[in-house]
Amino acid sequence: MEHKPFAITLDPASSLANHTGNWRTMRPIYVDHLPPCNQACSAGENIQGWLYEAEEGKYERAWRKIMEDNPFPAIHGRVCYHPCETACNRGQLDEAVSIHAVERFLGDYAIEQGWQIEAGEATGKRVLIIGAGPSGLSAAYHLSRMGHAVTIYEAGPKPGGMMRFGIPQYRLPRNIVDAEISRITAMGVSIHVDRKVDNLEIAIIEGKFDAVFLAIGAHLSKRIDIPGRDTGRIIDALGFLKKMEEKEVPKIGRRVVVYGGGDTAIDAARTAKRLGAEETLLIYRRDREHMPAHDFEVEEALEEGVLTRWLNMIRQIDENRITVEEMILDDKGYPQPTGRIKTLEADTIILAMGQKVDTRFLKDVPGLDISQDGVIQVDDTMMTGRLGVFAGGDMVPAERTVTVATGHGKKAARHIDAYLNGFHYGKPPSKSVAKFDRLNTWYYTDADKSQQPYLDLARRRASFEEVVGGLDAATALLEARRCLSCGNCFECDTCYGICPDNAIIKLGSGKRYEINLDYCKGCGMCAEECPAGAIDMIKEMR
């Protein structure tokens, strides 16, 4: 209308001329905080990031996001002890997101779909990796993506290391291990099995390698001083588990005693049970609360009929008997003898007292700093005292898990790449962790954790079939959607919707939002309501 009555009639949205942004004393900013799962992940995965993709059913994108950090999603989805889930903020709300189950689904789905990863453009650099365990394979994978030519020398008959020779099949089927390793060899990584390196320096010269990554793991079983130790049928747990990969299964008799309290002890006991031992007895010098083994594994062992004697120490081993002494825990949780002695019958005694590193082949390498138990010291870049030789996995000081080893592989690869290119890899500065109190959990739907199916007990006792099943696609999707996206915008539009001043600009799918500072009055509602805690209020500088 051309002739509107003066002053009493106004044009629509003429208020846009009034920039209310100048009222502001605080301003909102979008931030990305570090989700606790990501912080906890030893393999350095961007868990929140790949769950975000999985939530939308974009499984390939999700899988590829995992693959940026970890070449073994199907394996990790089964055997990782998922510190991410311990850290998961959702645990404080109801139950942690079953991250491992979603990862396993993605890993299995990728195998089913035959998704592959391309090697990077060739750099001409050659890297030798000793050991085809998780750490060595992980390093090989990342170096290959960076374009380096990787050769692995593996002393054993097959690649996989502890993933094949340490973890029983009922926890990690071998076809999964084969599938995830073959994806790496398909990238051009050459793995030489039964290739034990006796002298590293010679191997380097012969192969004209520009750098080396040592990842031989810790395979030597620790020995302990028990009288009569060498009598009777005494075997070490790792050797026992390794034998399971051979054609002829070990003969263990009717009564088996496993001595130790770690995950390997549990693995050995459950394997013995499956081999037909009528009685499998786990003996540990402390109690269940003090076992280093993960409790869910202990629980599964108990379900399967493994018997236990907590607070017992083996004092003597004879032909078919062992003598144990009952212990009591002191104030500090250390076992102290009580003098009460018992005798037990045993056909086989499996010792699971830990492992150490076999470093004999490194004896001529100059500059290496090797500890008494064989652990090799490395610097921040995972380089040993010898220039160009890096080390990782169980042979360096760290927690000995597949996940830590895999993470070492990635970390070492980055530094080896930097070393080969003549620069130093600088880790980007860490973001602050998105703790639970940042979240506005009211917005999240109440949703119970999805449960993975379990093999029935009878078959668990008698076979090596996988105990824990995977989630189906629909359940995996729902589980992914339990993610709270801590500290990271997941485009829920809440800030955009609730701003009383329409001062938030929605940029479109995947592009998040912008604050329109012309109109933002700085009320702080967006920061207060953001479910994920991805908006901070900062003092306005004028």
Partner 1 sequence: MSYQRVKFYQTGTFTVGNRLLDEADRTVQARMDRTNSLNSGHRACQGCGEALGARYALDAVMRATRNQLVAVNATGCLEVFSSPYPESAWQIPWLHSLFGNAPAVASGVAAALRAKGKTDIRVVAQGGDGATVDIGFGCLSGMFERNDDVLYICYDNEAYMNTGVQRSGSTPARAWTNTTQAVGTEPGNILGVGKNLPRIAMAHGIPYVATASVADLHDLEAKVTKSMSIRGARYIHIHVPCPLGWKSDPAQTIKVARLAVESGLFPLIEAEWGVVTDRTCIRQQIPVEQYLALQGRFKHLFNPRDEPSLASIQAMADGNIHLYNLVPTKPAMES
Partner 2 sequence: MKQQVEGSQAVAQAVALCRPEVMACYPISPQTHIVETLSRKVKAGEIGNCQFLNVESEFGALSVLIGASAMGARTYTATTSQGLLFMAEAIYNAAGLGLPIVMTIANRALGAPINIWNDHSDSMAMRDAGWIQLYAEDNQEAVDLHIQAFRLAEELSCPVMVCMDGYILTHAFEAVDLPEQEQVDAYLPLFEPVQLLDPQDPVSIGAMVGPDAFAEVRYLAHHKHLQALEAIPRMSQEFQDMFHRTSGGLLKLYHTDDAETLLLALGSVNGTIKDAVDDLREEGWPVGSIQLCSYRPFPSQALRHVVHNAKRVVVIEKDLAVGQGGMVSSDVKMALRGLPTIVDTVIAGLGGRAISKASVIDTVKAACLEGLEEPHFLDLNWVAINRELTRQAEQRRSGPAPENLLREMGLSGGKTV
Given the rule CB under 8 A, which residues bind partner 2? Answer: 1, 3-12
Query: CA-to-CA distance for 450 and 468, rounded, in angstroms?
Result: 13
- Extended beta strands in 330-414, E state: 335-345, 348-351, 355-356, 389-391
Partner touching 508 among partner 2, partner 1, none, CB below 5 to 8 Å by kind: partner 1
Nearer to partner 2, 1 or 458 (CB): 1
Is residue 32 part of the contact set for partner 1 (CB under 8 A)?
Answer: no
Q: Which of 242, 461, 516, 517 binds partner 1 (CB under 8 A)?
A: 516
Q: Which of 332, 428, 437, 442 binds partner 1 (CB under 8 A)?
A: 442
Residue 231 contact, options partner 1, partner 2, none, Cβ 5-8 Å cut-off depending on partner type: none
* Closer by beta carbon to partner 2, 1 or else 541: 1
Contact of 346 with 325, CB cutoff 8 Å? no
Q: Which residue has the tokens 């003092």?
A: 539
Task: Yes or no: say if 411 and 426 are a contact pair by the CB < 8 Å rule.
Answer: no
Give yes or no for residue 15 binding partner 1 (CB under 8 A): yes
Q: Is 517 in the site for partner 1 (CB under 8 A)?
A: no
Least separation, in Å, of the C-beta of 62 and partner 2? Answer: 46
With CB under 5 to 8 Å by kind, the binding choice for 423 among partner 1, partner 2, none is: none
Smallest gap from Cβ 105 to partner 1, in A, equals 16
Q: Which does 528 bind (CB under 5 to 8 A by kind): partner 1, partner 2, none?
A: partner 1
Written as six digits, the tokens of 129 are: 């990796």
CB-based contact 23:34 (threshold 8 Å): no
- Helices (DSSP H) in 208-328: which residue ranges? 237-243, 263-274, 295-303
* Least gap, CB of 452 to partner 1 (angstroms): 17
Question: CA 516, CA 534: separation in Å to the nearest integer?
Answer: 17
Could you say whether residue 304 binds partner 1 (CB under 8 A)?
no
Residue 445 touches which of partner 1, partner 2, none (CB < 5 to 8 A by kind)? Answer: partner 1
Q: Using CA atoms, how far apart are residues 286 and 262, in angstroms rounded to an integer?
A: 11
Alpha-carbon 205 to chain mean position: 35
17 binds, among partner 1, partner 2, none (CB under 5 to 8 A by kind): partner 1
201 makes contact, choosing from partner 2, partner 1, none, with CB < 5 to 8 Å by partner type, with: none
Beta-carbon count within 10 A of 323 CB: 17
HEC secondary structure over 155-214: CCCCCCCHHHHCCCCCCCCHHHHHHHHHHHHCCCCEEECCCCCCCHHHHHHHHCCCEEEE
* 50 lies in the binding site for partner 1 (CB under 8 A): no
Question: Under rule CB under 8 A, how many of the chain's residues touch partner 1?
Answer: 57
| Interface pick for partner 1 out of 186, 194, 254, 443 (rule CB under 8 A) | 443
Does residue 11 touch partner 1 according to CB under 8 A?
Answer: yes
Residue 160, amino acid: G
Report the half-sphere exposure of 202 (CA within 13 A, side-chain side). Answer: 8
Neighbours of 200 (CB within 10 A): 22
Q: Cα dihedral angle (487, 493, 495, 500), rounded to 10 degrees?
A: -170
Residues in the chain: 542
Question: C-beta of 471: minimal distance to partner 2 in Å?
Answer: 51
User: Binding partner of residue 23 among partner 1, partner 2, none, CB under 5 to 8 Å per kind?
Assistant: partner 1
Residue 405 CA from chain centroid, whole number = 9
> Which residue, 7 or 17, is less far from partner 2 as judged by CB?
7
Q: Centre a 10 Å sphere on the Cβ of residue 357 and count the other Cβ atoms it contains.
A: 23
Q: With binding defined as CB under 8 A, does residue 53 bind partner 1?
A: no
User: Is residue 98 near partner 1 by the rule CB under 8 A?
Assistant: no
> Quick one: which of 7, 124, 422, 542 contacts partner 1 (CB under 8 A)?
7
Q: Which is nearer to partner 1, 316 or 516 (CB)?
A: 516
- Judged by beta carbon distances under 5 to 8 A according to partner kind, the member of partner 2, partner 1, none in contact with residue 1 is partner 2
14 is a site residue for partner 1 (CB under 8 A):
yes
Q: Given the complex with partner 2, which of 10 and 122 has the nearer CB atom?
A: 10
Binding of residue 23 to partner 1 (CB under 8 A): yes
Helices (H), 316-369: none
Three-state secondary-structure class, residue 534: coil
Please give the structure tokens belonging to residue 302: 């108990």
| Interface with partner 1, residue 481, by CB under 8 A | yes
4 binds, among partner 2, partner 1, none (CB under 5 to 8 A by kind): partner 2
Per CB under 8 A, contacts with partner 1 among 316-335 are none
Out of 129, 298, 494, 533, name the contact with partner 1 by CB under 8 A.
494
Beta carbons within 8 Å of 155's beta carbon, 6+ residues apart: 131, 194, 195, 196, 197, 216
Q: Candidates 193-201, 204-212, 463-471, 517-525 — which segment interacts with partner 1 by CB under 8 A?
A: 517-525
Q: Which two tokens stand for residue 321?
A: 């008997």
Site string for partner 1, 383-422 (x = CB under 8 A): ----------------------------------------
* Site membership for partner 1, residue 501 (CB under 8 A): yes
CB of residue 15 vs partner 1: minimum separation in angstroms? 3
Distance separating the N- and C-terminal Cα atoms of the chain: 41
Whether the Cβ atoms of residue 521 and residue 477 lie closer than 8 Å to each other: no
The sign one gets for the Cα dihedral 47, 53, 58, 64 is: negative
Residues that bind partner 1 (CB under 8 A): 7-8, 10-20, 23, 55-56, 442-447, 478, 481-485, 490-494, 496-503, 506, 508-509, 516, 518-519, 521-525, 527-529, 531, 537
